[in-house]
């Protein structure tokens, strides 16, 4: 975290989001490739993320878990903006190596 502003680094945000698990698959949302983008400024943290499908029954729970994980990371005066996006649609090719290995996806 930047000592001056308390604003987290991209790596710190990713680490926090690795604690958010998709309960149906059992893999964190970062390695699943659900986090599409991070934008960090002095007063706002914006995270673009998606779900494996628009009909994901755990979508609200995952968003709540992500918001909670980020709230523990950033000072109270920084706005957390979770932006759910559907374009481009998620596909298994967005998964990182740890998720691919876990699911035996070659």
For residue 48, the enclosing domain spans 10-90
Residue 77 placed within a domain: yes
Q: Please indicate, yes or no, whether the overall pTM of this predicted structure exceeds 0.85.
A: yes
Residue 106 placed within a domain: no
Residue 98 placed within a domain: no
pLDDT tens for each residue of 24-77: 889 999 999 999 999 998 899 999 999 999 988 899 999 999 999 999 999 888
pLDDT tens for each residue of 9-26: 999 999 999 999 999 889
User: Across-strand partners of 83?
Assistant: 48
CATH number at residue 72: 3.30.300.130
Residue 3 placed within a domain: no
The total domain count for the chain is: 1
Nearest to 36 by CA among 78, 96, 77, 76: 96
């Amino acid at each position: 975290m930047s000592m001056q502003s308390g604003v987290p680094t991209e790596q710190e945000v990713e680490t926090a989001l690795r604690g958010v698990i998709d309960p149906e698959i059992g893999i964190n949302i970062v390695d699943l490739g659900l986090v599409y983008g991070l934008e960090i400024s002095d007063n706002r943290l914006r995270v673009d993320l998606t779900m494996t499908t628009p009909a994901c029954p755990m979508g609200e729970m995952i968003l709540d878990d992500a918001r909670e994980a980020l709230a523990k990371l950033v000072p109270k005066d920084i706005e957390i903006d979770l932006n759910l996006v559907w374009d481009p649609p998620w596909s298994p090719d967005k998964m990182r190596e740890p998720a691919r290995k876990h699911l035996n996806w070659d």
